[in-house]
Chains A and B, each alone.
Chain A
């Protein structure tokens, strides 16, 4: 048996080391970039490196962070969801109305979550079974759900007075606000879901190649509905937390939120072609988004320039990714 001749002879060691360095750099460029960014900001921007500010930063990205977890699954399966911003608003409004009418926190939370799950499931059925393009399907539900939010609230913000409901956004455990703890739990749960379960693996498989995944025994349609259902559920949770933080259900809340979430995922290295996603990357993406916004606020940068900056950063991250994959192909 000539096994030895089958295995490729080791390339020159210099080249091998270079390849290894390269791989390492590709793998860790974003976290490294973030560490450098954080260090530079801590050294140069006044008030940035304080417990209060860092906690505030985390609180400001809590909603984006939660929804980014499920958006990651959605993008990893080569799908897309534009309806999350509307769902946040609708869940908040619905929760506030139920609370106002019934006075029951459990009913309000349950109703909001159920509505979110239902919206997600509708998206999933439209896309997986009725084969509507994900972009179009969720664009339609985005408009419809936003409309519903305005209809049920008659276009007005719905105030929340219940103390226990408000405490969702307010309470602190070990000095950390509850939303930050919830988003932390989300990252852990969805990280495990992605890497340690058949669900996560199959999600990546259908993103990589849906037909091959189907022939390998994956129930593609059912899985896609589940992904969207989870997305709706988590989004509704984020909506309820937002409502509790601002003590009202706002029908026009979270406009443009879906694009922030998708940006964070892309910054975190999730491939829009599907099949590739890492929870840690998404965490970094979310932190980069939050940090940049936080710093611009600290520096009192005009809101108009903030839009410009966010666009530039997103583009830069995507170009970086492009360069990396080009390096692979050559």
Chain B
């Protein structure tokens, strides 16, 4: 077997950072080659070079034995390379067919030949087994469906190399199965596939070989993925040993501090009640669209509630705006870090101080720049935030480090009582995950309530003292740590209540099989 795609001593420098430092490895046709590494290790930069978005500062790449230099993304496409980025690139107002054939629409007498376009795309979609209407607008599709459109586009362009950058980070269980099947078919078709993911289970299921990155360098290439033990992968990625990434320790639990009584509102199905004890980590699990984030937003006053009360230490929490929840000691790290969490163009220090500074003003009015700087430095060190300095714009940090900055913002609140984390580790590497779990436990040990909403079942089971499961907008069950197994939690989370737990779990784990209609299977949320 020959190497179809070869990277040769690729270097890429940004001011102050060596994003890639002499990286060489090769990927073979008919294989899925996984790329692993913490955020900021250089994987995405490598994909951008492959896709022609960045020019390497040194080294180059060979496709099918020929040296290639891409001046632009269209050069890469012409060379048969398609990169499917984490943030999908499409025109929301155009139809599936128009997006797939963007820039190459068939014409007839100088006019667009829409029927032909629809036929072409419908054929291709059918060939890869995806049930989608070529005339549907992209804006009306789920993220998973948009991803399928992107893949279809790559196949239409006859791409021999297809690279995926964390394709499953916003997919539901079932959508992921469909993606996997498609990737496997492309492999069987003899294409060269590059696959980036932070989820080790996925990499073991899909990849034939893998390369591990750390700090812009290639650490090692494993030619046979299946032979590499999990611990080895993690220690290669992180550069240190991580025995148990969840770091769970039993804590003494206090009285019920947070009591949510009959909370109801948009996207929540009927009044919901639960309570959290002091020092407790409460996990919220459910499929995408089960209403977990919405319930948390109601609790945080981010959305208006139609009914219900929130009591903290017996006192009612004022409704109104998030400010009121924060004043009472309830804080939220939102699900969509980029759109709702970070103040993208502001500095790391500004992002940390935005809320807590109100407690420490000179004469109740003026900022204390020195104290703010010191506070920022303290948290950068304590949470191991990787940033050149505190003045760095937060948007230039990796996802894990952005999340730590948001956490720092709330840990800096002197009156913190309830910490709500919505998908705290989505798109974050193992090392930073471990740091975040450590912080969660520290906060709980201080006697605070911690609520963790997550779609990653191992994570929920790993860190929680208790798990609440939501389904279709309502709380449908509650399990103590001892009784919360994967099977038990999934049995509650899946919509089919009639099936016995074991069968339901099996159904969730089984491959999608013939059922490929991703329109109807599970509620999937589209990007707002």
Binding site for B on A (CB under 8 A): 2, 5-12, 15-16, 19, 192, 195-198, 201-202, 204-205, 208-209, 211-219, 275-276
CB distance from A18 to the nearest CB of B (A): 9
6 tightest Cβ-Cβ pairs between the two chains A and B: A19-B15, A8-B17, A217-B326, A275-B345, A217-B355, A208-B343
CB distance from B28 to the nearest CB of A (A): 31
Give chain A residues whose Cβ lies under 8 Å from the Cβ of B358.
Answer: 198
Give chain B residues whose Cβ lies under 8 Å from the Cβ of A208.
Answer: 343-346
**Pairs across A and B, CB under 8 Å, 27 listed:** A5-B215, A8-B215, A8-B388, A11-B13, A11-B16, A15-B15, A195-B367, A196-B367, A197-B366, A198-B358, A198-B361, A201-B354, A201-B357, A202-B354, A205-B343, A205-B346, A205-B350, A211-B340, A212-B339, A213-B343, A213-B354, A215-B302, A215-B332, A216-B354, A216-B409, A217-B322, A219-B323
Give chain A residues whose Cβ lies under 8 Å from the Cβ of B334.
Answer: 212, 215
* CB-CB under 8 A for A201 and B355, given A5-B215, A6-B386, A219-B323: no
Contact across chains for A196 and B366 when beta carbons are under 8 A apart? yes
- Asked if B341 lies at the interface with its beta carbon under 8 angstroms from chain A, I say yes
Contact across chains for B386 and A216 when beta carbons are under 8 A apart? no
Q: Give complex CA distance A212, B336 in Å.
A: 10
Q: Give complex CA distance A195, B357 in Å.
A: 14
Give chain A residues whose Cβ lies under 8 Å from the Cβ of B302.
Answer: 214-215
- Asked if B342 lies at the interface with its beta carbon under 8 angstroms from chain A, I say yes
Contact across chains for B343 and A16 when beta carbons are under 8 A apart? no
Give chain A residues whose Cβ lies under 8 Å from the Cβ of B367.
Answer: 195-198, 201
Which of B240, B339, B350, B365 contacts A211, CB < 8 Å?
B339
0/1 string, B9-21, CB within 8 A of A gives 1: 0000101111000
Q: Give complex CA distance A208, B239 in Å.
A: 36
Which of A19, A217, A275, A276 contacts B354, CB < 8 Å?
A217
CB distance from A214 to the nearest CB of B (A): 6
Q: Give the residue name and chain of the B residue nearest to A12 (CB).
A: B13
* CB-CB under 8 A for A16 and B15, given A8-B388, A215-B322: yes
Q: Give the residue name and chain of the B residue nearest to A195 (CB).
A: B367
Which of B323, B326, B343 contacts A212, CB < 8 Å?
B343
- Asked if B102 lies at the interface with its beta carbon under 8 angstroms from chain A, I say no
Which of B216, B300, B354 contacts A205, CB < 8 Å?
B354
Give chain B residues whose Cβ lies under 8 Å from the Cβ of A2.
Answer: 239-240
Number of interface residues of B (CB under 8 A): 38
Provide the main secondary structure of the chain B interface. loop
Q: Give complex CA distance A67, B296 in Å.
A: 42
Give chain B residues whose Cβ lies under 8 Å from the Cβ of A218.
Answer: 323, 354
* CB-CB under 8 A for A219 and B321, given A6-B386, A208-B343: yes
CB distance from A11 to the nearest CB of B (A): 6
0/1 string, B296-338, CB within 8 A of A gives 1: 0000101000000000000000000111001000001010000
0/1 string, B343-381, CB within 8 A of A gives 1: 111100010001101100100011100000000000000
Contact across chains for B343 and A209 when beta carbons are under 8 A apart? yes
Give chain A residues whose Cβ lies under 8 Å from the Cβ of B350.
Answer: 201, 205
Q: Give complex CA distance A2, B239 in Å.
A: 8
Contact across chains for B16 and A209 when beta carbons are under 8 A apart? no
| Candidate in A8, A10, A214, A215 with the most chain B CB atoms within 10 angstroms | A215
Contact across chains for A11 and B322 when beta carbons are under 8 A apart? no
CB distance from B329 to the nearest CB of A (A): 12
Q: Give complex CA distance A213, B215 in Å.
A: 32
CB distance from A218 to the nearest CB of B (A): 7
CB distance from A275 to the nearest CB of B (A): 4
Contact across chains for A11 and B17 when beta carbons are under 8 A apart? yes
Provide the main secondary structure of the chain A interface. helix
Q: Give the residue name and chain of the B residue nearest to A276 (CB).
A: B345
Q: Give the residue name and chain of the B residue nearest to A23 (CB).
A: B15
Contact across chains for A217 and B323 when beta carbons are under 8 A apart? yes
Q: Give complex CA distance A218, B340 in Å.
A: 13
* CB-CB under 8 A for A215 and B365, given A8-B388, A16-B16: no
Binding site for A on B (CB under 8 A): 13, 15-18, 215-216, 239-240, 300, 302, 321-323, 326, 332, 334, 339-346, 350, 354-355, 357-358, 361, 365-367, 384, 386, 388, 409
Q: Give complex CA distance A217, B358 in Å.
A: 10
Other CB < 8 Å A-B pairs besides A8-B215, A205-B346, 4 of them? A205-B343, A212-B343, A215-B341, A217-B354
Q: Give complex CA distance A158, B13 in Å.
A: 66
Give chain A residues whose Cβ lies under 8 Å from the Cβ of B346.
Answer: 204-205, 208, 275
Give chain B residues whose Cβ lies under 8 Å from the Cβ of A12.
Answer: 13
Q: Give complex CA distance A7, B322 in Å.
A: 36
Give chain B residues whose Cβ lies under 8 Å from the Cβ of A209.
Answer: 339-340, 342-344
Q: Give the residue name and chain of the B residue nearest to A330 (CB).
A: B54
Q: Give the residue name and chain of the A residue nearest to B395 (CB).
A: A208
* CB-CB under 8 A for A216 and B18, given A196-B366, A205-B354: no
Give chain B residues whose Cβ lies under 8 Å from the Cβ of A15.
Answer: 13, 15
Contact across chains for B354 and A214 when beta carbons are under 8 A apart? no
Give chain A residues whose Cβ lies under 8 Å from the Cβ of B388.
Answer: 7-8
Give chain A residues whose Cβ lies under 8 Å from the Cβ of B342.
Answer: 209, 212
Contact across chains for A212 and B341 when beta carbons are under 8 A apart? yes
Contact across chains for A214 and B13 when beta carbons are under 8 A apart? no
CB distance from A7 to the nearest CB of B (A): 8
CB distance from A278 to the nearest CB of B (A): 13
Contact across chains for A5 and B354 when beta carbons are under 8 A apart? no
Q: Give complex CA distance A218, B325 in Å.
A: 12
Give chain B residues whose Cβ lies under 8 Å from the Cβ of A9.
Answer: 18
| Candidate in A196, A217, A275 with the most chain B CB atoms within 10 angstroms | A217
Q: Give the residue name and chain of the B residue nearest to A204 (CB).
A: B346
Q: Give the residue name and chain of the A residue nearest to B217 (CB).
A: A5
| Candidate in A16, A201, A202, A204 with the most chain B CB atoms within 10 angstroms | A201
* CB-CB under 8 A for A198 and B18, given A208-B345, A212-B339, A218-B323: no
CB distance from B114 to the nearest CB of A (A): 34
CB distance from B73 to the nearest CB of A (A): 14
Q: Give complex CA distance A204, B365 in Å.
A: 17
Q: Give complex CA distance A214, B215 in Å.
A: 35
Give chain B residues whose Cβ lies under 8 Å from the Cβ of A216.
Answer: 322, 343, 354-355, 409
Q: Give complex CA distance A12, B343 in Å.
A: 31
CB distance from A14 to the nearest CB of B (A): 11
Q: Give complex CA distance A214, B343 in Å.
A: 11
Q: Give complex CA distance A212, B18 in Å.
A: 31
Give chain A residues whose Cβ lies under 8 Å from the Cβ of B357.
Answer: 198, 201
Q: Give the residue name and chain of the B residue nearest to A8 (CB).
A: B17
Give chain B residues whose Cβ lies under 8 Å from the Cβ of A217.
Answer: 322-323, 326, 354-355
CB distance from B45 to the nearest CB of A (A): 13
Give chain A residues whose Cβ lies under 8 Å from the Cβ of B384.
Answer: 6
Q: Give the residue name and chain of the B residue nearest to A2 (CB).
A: B239
Q: Give complex CA distance A195, B367 in Å.
A: 8
Q: Give the residue name and chain of the A residue nearest to B325 (CB).
A: A217
Contact across chains for B322 and A5 when beta carbons are under 8 A apart? no
Give chain B residues whose Cβ lies under 8 Å from the Cβ of A215.
Answer: 300, 302, 322, 332, 334, 340-341
Q: Give the residue name and chain of the A residue nearest to B337 (CB).
A: A212
Q: Give complex CA distance A16, B388 in Å.
A: 13
Q: Give complex CA distance A10, B326 in Å.
A: 40
Give chain A residues whose Cβ lies under 8 Å from the Cβ of B332.
Answer: 215
